[in-house]
Amino acid sequence: MNAILMAQEAEPNVRDASAAGTSPADGECLVCFVDRQLAQSGCDGTHRFALSFRDHAAPDVAEFLGELSELGVRRCDCEIFMNAYWPSIRLWRVHDGEDELEWSSESVEKLAPEQMPPCAGVSPGSTQPCSNWERRYRW
């Protein structure tokens, strides 16, 4: 079998495997999907993962970017975690009491979960986060 024919036969399998890694899983929420994608590929300064989620899981949602903007997600995907959501407090590590931590970005990094659990799931077509995430209110 020649190389060209082998490549032509392999192409659909490669395309399917690639799409599986960059598409939301069934019931996966927007925030878990974006978190997973950012961990794999990093932020490129756009809403590429949020828009990919919308296109695959919630194509009927109107004003999607407007809703994100109201949450403080105006420029890129990583703003979801800087301005809109953070891990649910039930997932944070308990402080061992050795020293008092003041609430700062440093203490948040020490107490926040190192790795998020699998997505808790949402209804089909939803753009809401699962129960692993809480709204992050900035003052």
pLDDT at 13 over 70: no
DSSP for 96-129 reads -SSSPPPSSHHHHHHHS-SSPPSP----TT--S-
pTM of the predicted protein model: 0.76
- 16-66 pLDDT per residue, tens: 434 446 899 999 999 999 999 999 999 999 999 999 999 999 999 999 999
Whole-number Å distance between alpha carbons of 99 and 110: 12
What's the pLDDT score for residue 114? 85
